[in-house]
């Protein structure tokens, strides 16, 4: 594989700690201006991969940028920027001086520097915070400053290590949107590692899934989402259950029944004996082809979440619209939302 | 690899067994090692005295002295056996420290007897009322010659004497074919440039004695010029006697480079070469006489014991042992000098002296002038 | 106000001890200066402050202490990095060896230095003997260990990620060090520098021995004024000057030590191998900084080793020259040539060890209490201020003349002054700041909510301390114990003044041996010094095994 002319290429990259490989033989490409999220559970080697790209870990294999190998180029000469989970702002410097830090390194001074700092603070929505010390900021504000600092010198590649994980749920959602917008607006190429699939979906246009040091799947976010490489990946991507054999067949049949009526296709249906279903894949619908008995129901503002004993399949999650109130013991009919199931290549049935 | 998580120094929440073990070990260590806890088996007698042990029925006698004091175990045991007192020695600092210690605590002394106030400091101690009157009933022949002028033995009892003299490495001068110097004047002779080392007057009592020798020789107005010449001729000043002798003197055992050093007239007795003769020599015209006194402290808790100790210091037993123990000459004429001393360390017959009262009056002025001359 | 009552109760013992054994004696001596003849006469004291000689002495003290502190920091920083961030063989041993100078008696080091620097010594060509250069070398020799341990402990636990973030933003290694690492190390560097400055400013033996008595510092001047000139007014003036400078310094260092955001991020980084097993896989060129730090540490090791090797070689020489021998060590079982000693040197070692045990538990008890008081969360500004003052208060004994303190003991302590406990108490006062500085960062790092959680579960204050604090603190506590032990083993100034003649400690014995004629005594003194250094090394190696990051950190 020849490296990309524009962007990041990883060719058979392996990183070891004391002889134990943390990243095994990973090959990956990230074209210019794309945002790639590396998704994986903790310990999957994703942060190590990021550190290797940054030049903070010695790696075997080739890491190259714009077709040129980065071997022998120290971290500070790579022209990248790195943003950590908790920002790692310099506690002894004000917000403005934190953001101005990389500018100063590149000899950008005076009014050029101060107007750039202002611009960056505006970009991340922190006008007027210039003279604050990091210790006085909230977690979200700190991450915004860290982002502004990382973007200050228009890095060739922005490396984000769990940039939003330390924040609470609401803030995380909001910042994820902001982050996606800011990256698009500035046209920044970015590599983000995260264990949170929602964060990945919100920010990235490409997705790579890592497990136990291996890269198990990589592609457009929507593709990866729709076609998980294997059952374990499916579960990690947020699918609630992976069904096999007769149960899978029954779900696929029901889905096909629905699509015929709706006029859409169920991809890969015939060949796949394995299917992953999300929690909201089964919808209470009097026109549905599946039947089952409600085991429990939980009301949320948007919908009612159910556990249903589906005949021929077993216990599955399902949802009902807020205007319906099926209770435990009620018999219901269910249809399949085809956008919420994914066929899984069958060779790789998880044994865990 | 995550760097975020700080290591938790305590894998378990609480480890009772380990803590118990550690506490036990610490307890044992404390009990067996501490000064308080372990006083039992090896104590020097002070605790025994407090508990009324038979051999110290007379109680404690506390001797306050300087850091060079050394009577030896045998003599101390003899004293305790003969008198029934237990001897406790508080030894610290030099003669100046000792004198000041006594002066500061006059009337409420930290002990019963003081030994080691010399003729350069004695006037101050007397002036401060440190000592109680006491003259031993039996004073051996020769002691009176060392009485402090003005006190004449009423408070202070001479115990030992010594002369601070310039010493030479005789072999060095023979090897170099250089005639040996013999007087203070010679030390400023360019022929002896960079050859002399002496401890400073402000930090060393032999150093002070040497300054007094030069004052005695050249007079109150002449010694400053002498010192200027001496320093111009490359004389080296060091902190203490041990510095000068061991580090800078060619016969000191180290890699010293200077064959002329300030030491004592007894020093040649300690540098006997393989052929049985001394490799060093004291210049007897350069000496200053030091006499050390003992006295009962005013306000002593155990005045009887204090007197017994002063008496004991004048016995032949102690007087004869002084040369070997403290490198000083006895004040008593009734004891013989050790053989090596008699052969190799002849005493200065006519050392320089100054009136103690004059020393007391001028010490500050002289030391200040000397310090200004020598320090930068 | 139960909180206040508890605070006062905890602080009461250490404050009482420091008041009786430090404030009382020092003010006693100073009072003698102000009331020379029993009547108040401050004129003489003020007069002394105007003397040109006083200014000269003060200036000399300030510049030598500042220069020595700067050099010690300059040497100590790379060594702290190399010894705490790099991995190489025998690292623990090197760390322990570099601490040895800290506890060697000045007399002996003076002799060893002069053997090296003296006119006939291997380094005699430098012409340093009797010059300020030799004084500086001696001060650096004694004090670099303080910088290494203090800064090294912080460096070891420094979160590496801000530095990595800076590197990723384009900062080269030197820029990262200057703009990220150094500011994070600042509290530790300031702490170390202020302690070193105090040690330097109150150095006594080094200035006299290596400066050839041609130079006077405040400390030597106080000694001269007190013991030879009996000018207590002048001594009091200088003692006050000393206190003033020390207080200013402590205030300044407290200010410099404070980080803007209060908490320095802590993390754990693995030491990086100095000699990687597989070459050329690390991104970038070989780390020149690492090599430089290693070389600088090697140089420091040589500087420290040279006088120590001189000691060892001397201790193995037959007296009067000629041949190698172990006689000097065997002689330690006796009382020296011509009975130079009252007790065999080996007994002195035992006395030293026993005294060290006492000094250690005293320092730990007092230091532990002080650390507890200082680190409890403050509820008001004034409470925080009181804690800050307490913190500085216990540093004071480091900065005040031993002569003043020693004579102060005599005139103010009455019957206590002849107690055998005075020696360990005085040593504990010297070790106290080290204990406090070791424990405060650790206790301060404990999340107060853990204590609150324990309390809410029904644990009383004692049980809370046992369950929450002790498990975290017991290792640093042991490490501090090792440090105290070593300090006590080496303490000479106060000990020589207070020790009873029949029970001298080893440093006192070394002084006695070296002060008596007889070549064998000199050789024995060297052997005893080697034994003392070895005992220290063993203690420090044991502390190393505990692997406590903040051991000895000030």
Tell me the per-residue pLDDT of A323-341, one tens digit each, with 9 for 90 and over: 777 888 888 888 888 888 8
Q: Is CATH 3.40.190.10 the right assignment for the domain spanning A241-348?
A: no
pLDDT at B235: 92
* Shortest Cα distance, chain C CAs vs residue B174, angstroms: 19
Cα B290 to Cα B118: distance, rounded to the nearest angstrom: 6
Q: Are B352 and B213 in contact (CB under 8 A)?
A: yes
pLDDT at B13: 34
Residue among A89, A92, A102 minimizing CB distance to C183: A92
Farthest-apart Cα atoms in chain B, separation? 90
Q: Sheet containing A274-277: give its strands across.
A: A241-244, A274-277, A341-344
**Domains in chain A: boundaries:** 7-236, 241-348
* Nearest-by-CA chain B residue for C313: B254
Answer whether C170 sits within 8 Å of A71, measured CB to CB: no
Cα-to-chain-centroid distance, residue B376: 28
| Residue among B59, B242, B252 with most chain C CBs within 10 A, to mutate | B242
Q: Cβ contacts (< 8 Å) between A91 and chain C: which residues? A: 183-184, 259-261, 263-265
Q: Are B162 and B265 in contact (CB under 8 A)?
A: yes
For C169, the token pair is: 């933003």
Q: Sheet containing A206-211: give its strands across.
A: A80-83, A157-161, A190-194, A35-39, A206-211, A214-220
Cα B238 to Cα C129: distance, rounded to the nearest angstrom: 10
Phi-psi region of C547 (alpha: psi -120 to 50; beta: other; left: phi over 0): left
**Domains in chain B: boundaries:** 50-161+291-330, 163-290+349-374
Terminal C-alpha separation, chain C:
32
For C224, the token pair is: 């001269």
Cα B356 to Cα A280: distance, rounded to the nearest angstrom: 109
Answer whether C164 sits within 8 Å of A82, measured CB to CB: yes
| Residue corresponding to tokens 């949107």 | A177
* B28 CB neighbour count, 10 Å cutoff: 11
DSSP symbol at C271 = P
**What sections of A187-238 are H helices per DSSP?**
197-203, 221-226, 231-236
Average pLDDT along chain A? 84
Q: Does A47 touch chain B (CB under 8 A)?
A: yes
Burial readout C140-164 (b: 16 or more C-beta within 10 A, e: otherwise): bbbbbbbbbbbbbbbbbbbbbbbbb
Strands, E, within chain B: which ranges? 60-65, 86-91, 113-118, 157-169, 196-199, 236-238, 260-264, 280-296, 329-330
Q: Between the CA of residue C382 and those of A164, C91, C388, C392, what are the distances in Å?
A: 39, 45, 10, 15
Answer whether A105 sits within 8 Å of C259, measured CB to CB: no
Residues B154, B155, B160: CA angle, nearest 5 degrees: 100
| Residue corresponding to tokens 């990883």 | A10
Q: In CATH terms, are B50-161+291-330 and B163-290+349-374 the same topology?
A: yes
* C394 CB neighbour count, 10 Å cutoff: 23
* Nearest-by-CA chain C residue for A61: C281
Answer whether A59 sits within 8 Å of C170, measured CB to CB: no
- pLDDT under 70 in chain A at which residues? 1-3, 258-272, 346-352
* Nearest-by-CA chain A residue for C273: A18
pLDDT at A102: 87
Give the domain B163-290+349-374 fold. D-Maltodextrin-Binding Protein; domain 2 (3.40.190)
Q: Does A83 touch chain C (CB under 8 A)?
A: yes
Mean pLDDT by 10 residues, chain C (554 residues): 67 88 89 79 81 87 94 92 82 80 72 76 79 89 84 78 85 86 84 86 79 79 80 85 86 72 44 51 54 85 85 78 77 69 77 89 89 74 76 82 81 77 86 79 70 71 74 74 81 73 78 68 82 81 62 40
| Residue among A18, A20, A22, A47 with most chain B CBs within 10 A, to mutate | A47
Cα A343 to Cα B12: distance, rounded to the nearest angstrom: 46
The fourth-level CATH superfamily of domain B50-161+291-330 is Periplasmic binding protein-like II (3.40.190.10)
Sign of CA dihedral B342, B343, B349, B352: negative
For A193, the token pair is: 């590692």
* C183 CB neighbour count, 10 Å cutoff: 18
pLDDT at B112: 93
> Comparing C-alpha atoms, which of C247, C212, C240, C211 is closest to residue C225?
C240
> Comparing C-alpha atoms, which of C56, C61, C397, C52 is closest to residue C250?
C397
Q: In CATH terms, are A7-236 and A241-348 the same topology?
A: no
Could you give the domains of chain C? 63-232+242-260 (1.10.3720.10), 322-554 (1.10.3720.10)
Q: Between the CA of residue C92 and those of A303, B132, C84, C545, what are the distances in Å?
A: 64, 59, 10, 8
Mention every residue, 6+ apart, whose C-beta is less than 8 A from residue C461. C6, C455
pLDDT at A76: 84
Cα A280 to Cα B14: distance, rounded to the nearest angstrom: 46
Q: How many CA atoms lie within 13 A of A226 on its CB side?
A: 13
Q: What are the phi and psi torsion angles at A212 (to 5°)? A: 50, 40
DSSP-derived pairing of the beta strands A20-31 and A68-69:
unpaired
Q: What is the CATH number of domain A7-236?
A: 3.40.50.300
> Comparing C-alpha atoms, which of C365, C501, C510, C343 is closest to residue C420?
C501
DSSP-derived 3-state class of residue C378: coil
Phi-psi region of A130 (alpha: psi -120 to 50; beta: other; left: phi over 0): alpha
> Comparing C-alpha atoms, which of A347, A346, A334 is closest to residue A270?
A346
Cα B100 to Cα A5: distance, rounded to the nearest angstrom: 88
Q: Between the CA of residue A243 and those of A225, A234, A259, A345, B348, what are the distances in Å?
A: 17, 11, 20, 12, 114
Answer whether A51 sits within 8 Å of B1, measured CB to CB: yes
- Which chains contact C through at least 3 pairs of Cβ atoms less than 8 Å apart? A, B
For A90, the token pair is: 């310099």
Mention every residue, 6+ apart, whose C-beta is less than 8 A from residue C69. C143, C193, C196, C197, C200
DSSP-derived 3-state class of residue B189: coil
Cα A232 to Cα B8: distance, rounded to the nearest angstrom: 32
Q: Are C225 and C235 in contact (CB under 8 A)?
A: yes
Strands, E, within C78-230: which ranges? 86-87
* pLDDT one-digit tens code per residue, C259-316: 544 334 444 455 666 655 443 344 434 467 778 888 888 888 888 888 888 888 888 8
- Which chains contact A through at least 3 pairs of Cβ atoms less than 8 Å apart? B, C
> Comparing C-alpha atoms, which of A192, A160, A214 is closest to residue A12?
A214
Residue among C165, C176, C283 minimizing CB distance to A82: C165
Please tell me whether the interface predicted TM-score (ipTM) of this complex is above 0.90.
no
Cα B148 to Cα B136: distance, rounded to the nearest angstrom: 15
B295 beta partners: B114
- Cα Rg, chain B, nearest whole Å: 26
Cα B277 to Cα B292: distance, rounded to the nearest angstrom: 29
Q: Cβ contacts (< 8 Å) between A89 and chain C: which residues? A: 162
> Comparing C-alpha atoms, which of C217, C102, C198, C202 is closest to residue C405?
C202
- pLDDT under 50 in chain B at which residues? 1-32, 37-56
* Shortest Cα distance, chain C CAs vs residue A197, angstroms: 25
B286 beta partners: none
Answer whether C214 sits within 8 Å of B375, measured CB to CB: yes
Residues B186, B190, B191: CA angle, nearest 5 degrees: 75
Residue among A58, A82, A88 minimizing CB distance to C281: A58
């Amino acid at each position: 594989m020849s490296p990309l002319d524009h962007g990041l290429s990883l060719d058979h990259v392996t990183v070891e700690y004391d002889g134990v490989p943390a990243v095994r033989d990973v090959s990956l490409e990230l074209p210019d201006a794309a945002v790639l999220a590396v998704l994986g559970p903790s310990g999957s080697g994703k942060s190590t991969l990021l550190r290797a790209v940054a030049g903070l870990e010695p790696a075997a294999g080739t890491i190259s940028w714009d077709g040129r190998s980065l071997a022998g180029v120290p971290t500070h000469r790579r022209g990248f920027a790195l943003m950590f989970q908790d920002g790692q702002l310099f506690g002894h410097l004000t917000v403005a001086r934190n953001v101005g830090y990389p500018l100063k390194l590149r000899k950008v001074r005076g009014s050029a520097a101060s107007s750039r700092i202002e611009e960056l603070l505006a970009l991340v929505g922190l006008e007027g915070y210039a003279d604050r010390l990091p210790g006085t900021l909230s977690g979200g504000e700190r991450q915004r400053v860290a982002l502004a600092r990382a973007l200050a010198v228009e890095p060739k590649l922005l490396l984000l290590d769990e940039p939003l994980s330390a924040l609470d749920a609401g803030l995380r959602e909001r910042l994820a949107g902001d982050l996606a917008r800011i990256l698009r607006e500035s046209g920044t190429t970015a590599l983000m590692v995260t264990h949170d699939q929602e964060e990945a979906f919100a920010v990235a246009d490409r997705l790579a899934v890592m497990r136990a040091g291996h890269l198990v799947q990589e592609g457009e976010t929507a593709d990866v989402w729709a076609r998980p490489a294997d059952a374990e990946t499916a579960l990690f991507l947020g699918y609630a259950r992976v069904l096999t054999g007769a149960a899978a067949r029954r779900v696929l049949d029901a889905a096909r029944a629905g699509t015929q009526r709706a006029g859409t296709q169920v991809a890969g249906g015939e060949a796949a004996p394995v299917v992953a279903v999300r929690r909201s894949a089964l919808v209470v619908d009097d026109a549905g082809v599946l039947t089952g008995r409600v085991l429990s129901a939980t009301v949320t503002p948007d919908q009612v979440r159910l556990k249903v004993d589906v005949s021929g399949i077993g216990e599955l999650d399902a949802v009902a619209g807020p205007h319906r109130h099926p209770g435990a013991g009620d018999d219901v009919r269910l249809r399949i939302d085809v956008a919420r199931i994914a066929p899984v290549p069958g060779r790789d049935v998880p044994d865990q | 690899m995550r760097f975020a998580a700080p290591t938790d120094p305590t894998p378990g929440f609480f480890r009772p067994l380990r803590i118990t073990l550690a506490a036990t070990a610490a307890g044992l260590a404390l009990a067996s090692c501490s000064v308080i806890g372990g006083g039992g088996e090896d104590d020097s007698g002070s605790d025994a005295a407090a508990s009324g042990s038979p051999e110290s029925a007379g109680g404690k006698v506390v001797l306050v002295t300087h850091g060079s004091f050394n009577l030896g175990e045998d003599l101390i045991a003899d004293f305790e056996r003969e008198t029934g007192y237990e001897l406790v020695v508080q030894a610290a600092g030099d003669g100046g420290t000792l004198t000041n210690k006594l002066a500061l605590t006059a009337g409420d002394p930290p002990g019963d007897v003081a030994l080691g106030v010399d003729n350069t400091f004695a006037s101050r101690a007397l002036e401060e009322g440190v000592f109680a009157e006491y003259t031993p009933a039996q004073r051996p022949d020769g002691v009176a010659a060392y009485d402090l002028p003005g006190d004449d033995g009423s408070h202070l009892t001479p115990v030992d004497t010594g002369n601070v003299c310039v010493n030479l490495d005789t072999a060095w001068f023979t090897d170099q074919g250089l005639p040996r110097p013999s007087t203070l004047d010679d030390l400023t002779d360019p022929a002896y440039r960079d050859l002399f080392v002496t401890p400073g007057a402000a930090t060393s009592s032999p150093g002070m004695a040497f300054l007094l020798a030069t004052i005695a020789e050249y007079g109150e107005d002449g010694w400053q010029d002498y010192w200027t010449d001496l320093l111009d001729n490359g004389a080296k000043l060091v902190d203490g006697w041990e510095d000068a002798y061991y580090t800078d003197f060619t016969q000191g055992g180290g890699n010293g480079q200077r064959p002329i050093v300030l030491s004592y007239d007894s020093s040649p007795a300690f540098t006997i070469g393989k052929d049985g003769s001394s490799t060093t020599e004291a210049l007897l015209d350069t000496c200053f006489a030091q006499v050390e006194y003992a006295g009962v402290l005013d306000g002593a808790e155990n005045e009887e014991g204090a007197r017994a100790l002063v008496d004991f210091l004048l016995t032949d037993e102690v007087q004869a042992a002084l040369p070997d123990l403290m490198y000083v000459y006895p004040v008593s004429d009734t004891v013989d000098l050790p053989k090596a001393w008699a052969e190799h360390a002849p005493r200065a017959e006519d050392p320089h002296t100054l009136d103690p009262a004059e020393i007391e009056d001028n010490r500050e002025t002289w030391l200040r002038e000397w310090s200004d001359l020598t320090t930068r | 106000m139960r909180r206040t009552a508890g605070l006062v109760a905890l602080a009461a013992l250490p404050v009482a001890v420091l008041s009786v054994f430090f404030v009382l004696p020092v003010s006693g001596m100073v009072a003698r200066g102000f009331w020379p003849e029993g009547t108040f006469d401050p004129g003489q004291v003020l007069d002394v402050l105007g003397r040109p000689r006083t200014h000269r002495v003060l200036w000399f003290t300030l510049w030598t202490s500042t220069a020595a502190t700067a050099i010690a920091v300059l040497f100590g920083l790379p060594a702290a990095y190399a010894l705490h961030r790099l991995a190489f063989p025998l690292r623990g041993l090197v760390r322990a060896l570099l601490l040895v100078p800290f506890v060697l008696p000045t007399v002996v080091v003076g002799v060893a230095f002069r053997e090296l620097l003296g006119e006939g010594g291997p380094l005699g060509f430098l012409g340093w003997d009797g010059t300020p250069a030799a004084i500086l070398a001696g001060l650096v020799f004694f004090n670099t260990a303080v910088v290494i341990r203090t800064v090294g402990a912080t460096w070891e636990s420094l979160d590496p990620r801000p530095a990595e973030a800076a590197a990723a933003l384009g900062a080269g290694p030197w820029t990262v060090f200057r703009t990220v690492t150094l500011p994070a190390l600042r509290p530790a560097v300031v702490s170390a520098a202020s302690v070193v400055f105090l040690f330097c400013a109150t150095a006594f033996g080094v200035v006299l021995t290596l400066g050839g008595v041609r130079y006077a510092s405040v400390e030597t001047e106080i000694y001269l004024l007190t013991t030879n000139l009996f000018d207590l007014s002048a001594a009091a003036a200088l003692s006050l000057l000393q206190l003033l400078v020390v207080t200013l310094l402590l205030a300044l260092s407290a200010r410099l030590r404070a980080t803007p955001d209060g908490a320095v991020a802590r993390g754990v980084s693995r030491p990086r191998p100095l000699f990687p097993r597989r070459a050329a896989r690390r991104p970038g060129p070989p780390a020149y900084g690492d090599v430089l730090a290693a070389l600088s540490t090697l140089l420091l090791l040589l500087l420290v080793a040279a006088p120590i090797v001189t000691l060892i070689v001397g201790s193995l020489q037959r007296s009067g020259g000629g041949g190698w021998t172990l006689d000097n060590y065997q002689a330690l079982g006796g009382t020296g040539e011509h009975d130079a000693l009252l007790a065999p040197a080996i007994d002195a070692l035992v006395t030293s060890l026993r005294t060290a045990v006492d000094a250690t538990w005293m320092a730990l008890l007092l230091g532990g209490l002080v650390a507890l008081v200082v680190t409890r969360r403050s509820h008001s500004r004034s409470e925080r201020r009181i804690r800050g003052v307490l913190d500085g208060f216990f540093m004071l004994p480091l900065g005040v003349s031993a002569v003043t303190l020693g004579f102060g003991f005599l005139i103010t302590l009455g019957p206590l002054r002849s107690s055998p406990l005075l020696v360990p108490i005085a040593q504990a006062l010297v070790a106290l700041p080290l204990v406090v500085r070791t424990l405060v960062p650790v206790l301060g790092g404990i999340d107060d909510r853990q204590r609150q959680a324990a309390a809410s579960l029904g644990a009383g204050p004692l049980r809370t301390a046992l369950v929450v604090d002790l498990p975290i603190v017991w290792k640093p506590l042991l490490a501090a114990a090792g440090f105290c032990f070593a300090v006590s083993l080496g303490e000479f100034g106060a000990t020589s003044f207070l020790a009873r003649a029949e029970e001298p400690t080893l440093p006192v014995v070394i002084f006695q041996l070296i002060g008596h004629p007889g070549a064998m005594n000199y050789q024995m003194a060297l052997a005893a010094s080697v034994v003392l250094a070895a005992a220290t090394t063993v203690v420090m190696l044991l502390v190393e095994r505990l692997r406590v990051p903040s051991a000895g950190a000030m």
